[in-house]
Amino acid sequence: MDILLLDNDPLVAELIEQVLTNLAPHAHVQHCSTLATAKAAWQPSMQLVICEYQLADGPGLDLVKLVRNQAPELPVVMISAHSDREAVIAAARCGVSEFIAKPLNLPMLQQRLEPLLARLIQQQSQTELTVCLSTWLSQTLTGKLTLPTELALEAVLPLLESSAELSAQDLARAWKNEIPLTARLLNLANGTSLKRSGQPISRVDEAISILGVDMALATAMALALDIRGSLQDARLLKQAQLYHSTAEQVASLARAMAMSVGLSSASCYTAGLLSRVGELAVLRALQDFIAQGATLNDEQLPLAMSEWSPKYGNQLKVQWGLPLPTRELIGAIHQAPTHTTQRPLLIMHLAALRVASHLDTPEALRMLRQAGLDVEKWWPKAAEGASHTQPSQEAFSLSSAANRN
């Protein structure tokens, strides 16, 4: 489904796009910020147009008139800060299907768009045949990828009510284990930060500081409203829980290791959380594959995960605009770093080895020493030599976290 979105506020456009992809996961949204670029991008083959009422280079109704001349039945949604009677009447005369006033209320926006998109999806499904799994995954990879999310609306609403009292650090602590939300905040903030200073960021508290608490909460609300986010297939849900748990364990261990040698722990923790986004994105694509009437057998699942997870992970890193240092930290989790003098990279790989119970090799011992970590504390064989002594509470807690299911 091809959608044209015209709005000159990039952050508002991001929220609208999130709602659209929540309701229609495989929608391709083309965002334009000026009337001229939207007119150039318009194609009669598009299924939906959403536009702002007033742009810097002209009225959005000019785009509506262009659309109506070529596609009289195409749904057109007008979003505007001008909701006076004259604006509404002018939009209606031009054939606007829906008129939504700003500031946007996300639940209301989703409620207004949901039936419209449901009709478009039904029309599209009547003219398309179910494709094979490899074709589906290949097509999904070329669009905007999304992750399964279990961010509950009930967890966001209390934060909205007390937003004036919250700081970036408060939200960072509250959302420290919310992987899709962490990635989304970093993506939005890097788009803003790179334009202002050219400097990428990799910490979620910095991302919230740049966006502001209100925008961060709005982003969380958009994710919480994702009606397709949770996985219904029991096999996919089991895999998602495993990958999510693994990512949390790697993040926690990497943070503890970094703190023990005086390195930045926040960046290591973020990289750990994002270390399985490729797998999670594939699971989301597989759920959508099943939802459109296809069958996924048990043999296809591991093959799809093995072949497509690295591709989806790399695509998400580009899509989200993750800075190079964060990408390197994530990469070190999956493959031993070649630059063994960079201690953060060594720590990420060692944390992954610890979670996988592969930290008892001579090579791991060498990396522990290069990273400056306490061998007696972190190397399993050192712990075996002291097995007749009572372990410290800290060591016990870390071991339990690393080995829980």
Which domains, ranges and CATH numbers included, belong to the chain? 2-128 (3.40.50.2300), 132-147+231-405 (1.10.3210.10), 150-225 (no CATH)
Q: Record the tokens describing residue 61, joined without a space.
A: 């109704």
Q: Please work out, in degrees rounded to the nearest 5, the angle formed at the alpha carbon of residue 171 by the alpha carbons of 164 and 196.
A: 85
Beta strands in 23-115, from DSSP E residues, in sequence order: 28-32, 48-52, 54-55, 58-59, 76-80, 98-101
Beta strands in 28-120, from DSSP E residues, in sequence order: 28-32, 48-52, 54-55, 58-59, 76-80, 98-101
Q: Dihedral of CA 336/339/340/341: which sign?
A: negative
pLDDT of amino acid 398? 33
Q: Which spans in 320-392 are helix H?
A: 324-334, 343-355, 362-370, 375-378, 380-385
Residues 403/383, Cβ–Cβ less than 8 Å: no
The one-character DSSP state at 58 is: E
Residues 349/247, Cβ–Cβ less than 8 Å: no
Q: Record the tokens describing residue 206, joined without a space.
A: 């910095």
Per residue of the chain (405 residues), what is the pLDDT tens digit?
Answer: 788 999 988 888 888 888 888 888 777 889 998 999 999 998 988 889 999 888 888 888 889 889 888 888 888 888 888 767 777 788 788 888 888 888 877 888 888 888 888 888 777 655 554 568 998 999 899 888 888 877 777 788 788 878 889 999 999 999 988 888 898 898 888 876 555 666 778 889 999 998 888 888 888 888 877 766 678 899 999 999 999 899 989 999 999 999 999 998 888 888 898 999 999 999 999 998 998 788 899 899 999 999 999 999 999 988 888 888 889 999 999 998 876 678 999 999 999 999 998 888 888 899 999 999 988 888 876 555 544 333 333 332 333 333 333
Residues 6+ apart with CB under 8 A from 216: 168, 171, 185, 207, 208
CA distance 372 to 169: 29
Q: Please work out, in degrees rounded to the nearest 5, the angle formed at the alpha carbon of residue 81 by the alpha carbons of 76 and 87.
A: 65
Q: Record the tokens describing residue 5, joined without a space.
A: 């979105």
Backbone angles phi, psi at 33, to 5 degrees: -110, -5
